[in-house]
Structure 1
């Protein structure tokens, strides 16, 4: 279960990093770019911890898909961007794709069935 927590941390860090990127580009502040680099690095690190047990295809789909939906919501709320019907349909398609990927996972790809690599077990 903690690997799903790492995935949630990866998503949150990605969304925050991307938000700082946008904020920095609008305000011309280099601190936002520094925050972006740190947060995106943290996102990839947390993702690497998540894929120890979560199948990589599912983890990546959830990371990118949920991140995309979240950053779209952030852009609506904080950056005044709009959400038209095509963008809403795209978001629905992304979420549907994540569900299809999850449903397509074989029982052997379940969290408990994935063997832990020797180096990862040392953590």
Structure 2
């Protein structure tokens, strides 16, 4: 497998682990429920481990922007669909701006 593809797949795994951990925080109920609490802790451990490996291969700014941006957008959608949170036009605009920022950083990297 191509090293860059492997790095992007590892970043996707880091994002998935972070989204799982963050989404499980609500279920952990202040860390009073053992199983969801373990999912939170293990999710963050896996996410940061993968993230630490990815930043050795890809630009730090780009990696962090993608990790944060995609993570925030997906967690916002988990909140809406899994927890019944509101989806306002302002929340949608924020997700669009986050996505635009990640895309801009990606293009800035490739044009430099």
Aligned to 2:14: 10
CA contact (8 A) 1:18 1:36 kept: yes
CA contact (8 A) 1:7 1:47 kept: yes
**Which residue of 73, 79, 82 maps to 1:75?**
79
Q: Please give the TM-score of this superposition, normalised by the length of structure 2.
A: 0.88
Structure 2: segments with no counterpart, 5+ residues: none
Provide the secondary structure at the position in 2 that maps to 1:54: coil
Structure 1 stretches of 4+ with a deviation exceeding 3 A read none
Provide the secondary structure at the position in 1 that maps to 2:67: helix
Provide the secondary structure at the position in 1 that maps to 2:94: helix
Shift of 1:31: 2.1
Shift of 1:27: 9.4
Structure 1: segments with no counterpart, 5+ residues: 109-123
Aligned to 1:111: none
The answer as to 2:44 corresponding to 1:40 is yes
Higher alpha-carbon Rg? 1
The answer as to 2:60 corresponding to 1:56 is yes
Tell me the distance in 2 between the aligned counterparts of 1:99 and 1:58: 9
Q: How many residues align?
A: 108
Q: Please give the TM-score of this superposition, normalised by the length of structure 1.
A: 0.81
Provide the secondary structure at the position in 1 that maps to 2:56: coil
